[in-house]
């Protein structure tokens, strides 16, 4: 779950970078505009992923196990 959340956060960060640099919302361009249901789902998933990855800051590190 952590990796999926990180992937979604990276997608969101890249999208915001494109918006900031080039005024291009790639998610909206691909999925039919900012108001389309699919774009809103992607934006929502990215937001949830951001909340999930914020919890990584407060988790205790567990040493890796050797198998």
SS (H, E, C) the chain: CHHHHHHHHHHHHHHHHHHHHHCCCHHHHHHCCCCCHHHHHHHHHHHHHHHHHHHHHHCCCCCCCCC
Stretch 1-25: mean pLDDT:
96
- Tens digits of per-residue pLDDT, 26-62? 999 999 999 999 999 999 999 999 999 999 999 888 7
Stretch 11-35: mean pLDDT:
96
At 67, is the pLDDT very low, low, confident or very high (cuts 50, 70, 90)?
low
What are the domain boundaries of the chain? 2-57
């Amino acid at each position: 779950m952590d990796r999926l959340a990180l992937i979604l956060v990276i997608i969101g960060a890249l999208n915001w970078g494109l918006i900031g640099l080039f005024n291009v919302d790639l998610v909206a361009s691909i999925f039919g505009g900012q108001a389309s249901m699919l774009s809103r789902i992607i934006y929502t998933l990215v937001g949830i992923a951001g909340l999930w990855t914020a919890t990584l800051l407060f988790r205790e590190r567990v040493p890796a196990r050797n198998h």
